[in-house]
């Protein structure tokens, strides 16, 4: 039947006052605000890009670095697509540190979900507006302040009307309707279905689909709400109805005491994990669920959070998922139902940009090529899905595609990519005629390599491996590189991985070799969450093979980061010095 809950009555009542026409955009979440404008045409991830305690921009690669957003009308083209950004805006609203309004030029469902959830759980909300007029967006870029009323957006003395959200009603099944009415279901499931339907309507989804599994990204410690939300869902009777895996926590639940990490933070983070386990999720605690035996198969309809995992699942495995915001992943796990939009649909998987890699210019490339390519292409596509040629003979393995996915998801809000001759749908997907085409060669990648270097000097104090979690397939190469070499006593090497891969590593005989070299293993958490004392207080620079960590690491760790290949990382571990720039890129 057609759901009676969309559009919601409160939304209808709020917007019925608006009579100005023609509309220059629409409300995504209703509300009023009057504030100074902070404007950015450069996308940003609220997760690891905005401090969740203060609302100050902390992404060292963003032009707004150091700018406070609290109380501002934040006019942002769109977010970067980090699934956990919904958790950050929720926490900021809970603390009273959020912007007064969010104004987008392109739809950002992740941040919208965070605002919706804050309203549902804590009665704290802000208006969220989508501008659909280029001229108005240009005016916002030059304006000092604006006002949002029930009648529309005011810049100066001019009132411009805003339409209601997309009015697509959502087809719900009889079982969905019983959940919506709470007939035979707990309050957590009822609230979950209400929010899923509201979110689906805002997206323009016509109906919902069953999913076979969920990956819950909402496990990281963003703030107080990271525990309050799952605890509240538990109190309301929440239990997962489909298999659900958990993302990385902010703690190694087995080793935190030995590591000397903050007891309060470690115990709080462990409680977050406990809450999801109590709902019935599995103890996976990994940001790379595609390395688990439970990974989905091609064509499976799933609901995953964690942006790198979403890109890998859609692109490499051929499964079907949107890039689900934190907490919507949990709500879907409670119901087993998800909006049919985006990459769930054939048309949502079609490429809209084309790239050719000039591999002839890249003779002798090493494993740093794939994270570089992912990061660079992601920065160019925005929300478009790319199809990539030129890598047909490169034979990338799981580590390469993992690194590409993570780099891509760092700079792009798109949920997937296609690589001809590599990913399963690339040679059969319909490629629309006339889509933009670009070539990428040595010059472009060299510029990106330089962008990822933030080390303060040539010394290296710690090697960061496992962002995303180190894969079993990466160990043979690592062992070959460390053979007959001695790690410097002044350099630490820390490998983050899942318990599952750790056990497989031990069974394969890899573990002892790597530990003997001097590497330290940490499970349950990931490099994006590691701080002192795992990172030595006196350490100045970190060496990584991850474009994702090279981007976010400076902001989350307060250290400089050097990016390079796995061979570079091993060399730095032995010498304590950053390796020279790669000859395949710079011809040195």
- Give domain 452-586's CATH architecture: 2-Layer Sandwich (3.30)
According to the model, what pLDDT value does residue 2 have?
43
| Secondary structure of residue 539 in the 3-state scheme | coil
> What's the whole-model pTM score?
0.94
- The CATH number of 9-160 is 3.50.30.10
| C-alpha triplet 529, 557, 109: angle, nearest 5° | 55
What's the CATH fold of domain 174-347?
Aconitase; domain 3 (3.30.499)
The enclosing H or E element of 210 equals strand 208-210
How far is residue 376's CA from residue 382's CA, in Å, rounded to a whole number? 11
- Distances in Å between the Cα of 523 and the Cα atoms of 83, 302, 313, 479, 517 are 21, 25, 22, 19, 19
Which letter, b or e, does each residue of 388-422 get, where b requires 16 or more Cβ atoms within 10 Å of its Cβ? bbbbeebebebbbbbbbbbbbbbbbbbbbbbbbeb
Q: Report the DSSP pairing between strands 462-465 and 437-440.
A: unpaired
pLDDT of residue 165: 76
Q: Which helix H or strand E contains 327, and what residues bound it? A: none
> What's residue 369's pLDDT?
98
Q: Give counts: helices (H), strands (E), the chain.
A: 20, 22
Q: Which helix (H) or strand (E) holds 511?
A: helix 511-517
Give the C-alpha separation, 207 to 7, whole Å: 14
**DSSP 8-state class, residue 579:** P
* Segments of 41-89 assigned E as strands: 73-76
Q: Is there a catalytic annotation at residue 145? A: no
Active-site choice (3, 82, 394, 565)? 82
The three-class DSSP label of residue 112 is helix
Task: List Cβ neighbours of 478 (8 Å cut-off, separation of 6 or more).
Answer: 465, 514, 566, 570
369-381 and 398-411 helices, crossing angle to 10°: 30
pLDDT of 166: 72
Domain-wise residue ranges, the chain:
9-160, 174-347, 364-444, 452-586
Give the single-character DSSP code of 323.
B
Indicate if 452-586 has the same CATH topology as 9-160.
no
Are 13 and 114 spatial neighbours (Cβ–Cβ below 8 Å)? no
Q: pLDDT of the chain along its 588 residues, tens only?
A: 444 444 454 455 444 544 445 899 999 999 999 999 999 999 999 999 999 999 999 999 999 999 999 999 999 999 988 999 999 999 999 999 999 999 999 999 999 999 999 999 999 999 999 999 999 999 999 999 999 999 899 999 999 999 987 767 899 999 999 999 999 999 999 999 999 999 999 999 999 999 999 999 999 999 999 999 999 999 999 999 999 999 999 999 999 999 999 999 999 999 999 999 999 999 999 999 999 999 999 999 999 999 999 999 999 999 999 999 999 999 999 999 999 999 999 999 999 999 999 999 999 999 999 999 999 999 999 999 999 999 999 999 999 999 999 999 999 999 999 999 999 999 999 999 999 999 999 999 999 999 999 999 999 999 999 999 999 999 999 999 999 999 999 999 999 999 999 999 999 999 999 999 999 999 999 999 999 999 999 999 999 999 999 999 999 999 999 999 999 999 999 999 999 999 999 986
């Amino acid at each position: 039947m057609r759901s009676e809950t969309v559009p919601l009555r409160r939304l209808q009542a709020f917007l019925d006052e608006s009579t100005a026409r023609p509309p220059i955009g629409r409300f995504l979440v209703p509300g009023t605000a009057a504030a100074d404008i902070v404007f950015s045409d450069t996308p940003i991830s609220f997760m690891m890009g905005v401090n969740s305690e203060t609302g100050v921009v902390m992404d060292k690669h963003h032009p707004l670095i150091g700018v406070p957003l609290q109380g501002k009308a934040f006019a942002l083209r769109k977010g970067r697509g980090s699934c956990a950004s919904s958790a950050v805006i929720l926490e900021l609203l809970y603390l009273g540190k959020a912007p007064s309004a969010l104004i987008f030029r392109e739809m950002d469902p992740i941040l919208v979900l965070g605002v919706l959830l804050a309203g549902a759980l804590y009665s704290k909300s802000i208006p969220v507006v989508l501008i659909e007029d280029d001229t108005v967006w240009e005016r916002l870029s030059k304006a000092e302040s604006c006002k949002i009323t029930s009648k529309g957006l005011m810049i100066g003395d001019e009132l411009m009307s805003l339409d209601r959200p997309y009015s697509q009603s959502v087809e719900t099944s009889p079982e969905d309707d019983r959940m919506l009415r709470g007939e035979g279901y707990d309050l957590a499931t009822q609230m979950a279905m209400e929010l899923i339907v509201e979110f689906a309507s805002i997206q323009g989804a016509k109906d919902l689909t069953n999913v076979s599994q969920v990956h819950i990204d909402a496990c990281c410690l963003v703030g107080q709400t990271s525990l309050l939300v799952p605890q509240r869902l538990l109190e309301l009777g929440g239990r997962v109805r489909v298999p659900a895996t958990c993302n990385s926590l902010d703690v190694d639940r087995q080793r935190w005491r030995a590591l000397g990490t903050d007891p309060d933070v470690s115990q709080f983070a462990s409680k977050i994990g406990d809450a999801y386990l109590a709902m019935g999720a599995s103890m996976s605690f990994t940001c790379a669920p595609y390395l688990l035996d439970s990974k989905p198969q091609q064509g499976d309809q799933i609901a995953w959070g964690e942006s790198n995992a979403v890109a890998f699942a859609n692109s490499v495995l051929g499964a079907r998922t949107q890039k689900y915001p934190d907490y919507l992943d949990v709500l879907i796990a409670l119901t087993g139902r998800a909006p049919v939009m985006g990459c769930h649909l054939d048309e949502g998987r079609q490429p809209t940009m084309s790239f050719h890699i000039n591999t002839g210019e890249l003779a002798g490339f090493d494993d740093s090529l794939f994270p570089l390519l992912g990061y660079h292409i992601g920065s160019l596509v925005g929300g478009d899905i790319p199809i990539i040629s030129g890598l047909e003979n490169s034979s990338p393995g799981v580590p390469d595609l993992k690194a590409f996915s993570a780099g891509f998801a760092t700079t792009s809000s798109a949920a997937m990519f296609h690589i001809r001759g590599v990913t399963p749908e690339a040679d059969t997907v319909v490629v629309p005629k006339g889509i933009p085409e670009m070539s990428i060669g040595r010059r472009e990648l060299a510029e990106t390599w330089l962008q990822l270097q933030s080390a303060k000097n040539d010394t290296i104090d710690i090697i960061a491996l496992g962002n995303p979690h180190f894969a079993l397939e990466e160990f043979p190469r690592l062992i070959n590189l460390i053979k007959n070499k001695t790690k410097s006593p002044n350099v630490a090497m820390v490998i983050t991985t899942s318990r599952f891969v750790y056990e497989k590593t031990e069974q394969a005989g890899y573990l002892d070799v790597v530990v003997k070299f001097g590497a330290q293993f940490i499970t349950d958490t990931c490099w994006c969450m590691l701080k002192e004392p795992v990172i030595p207080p006196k350490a100045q620079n970190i060496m990584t093979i991850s474009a994702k960590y090279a981007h976010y690491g400076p902001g989350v760790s307060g250290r400089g980061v050097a990016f390079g290949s796995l061979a570079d990382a091993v060399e730095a571990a032995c010498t304590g010095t950053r390796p020279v720039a790669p000859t395949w890129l710079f011809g040195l």
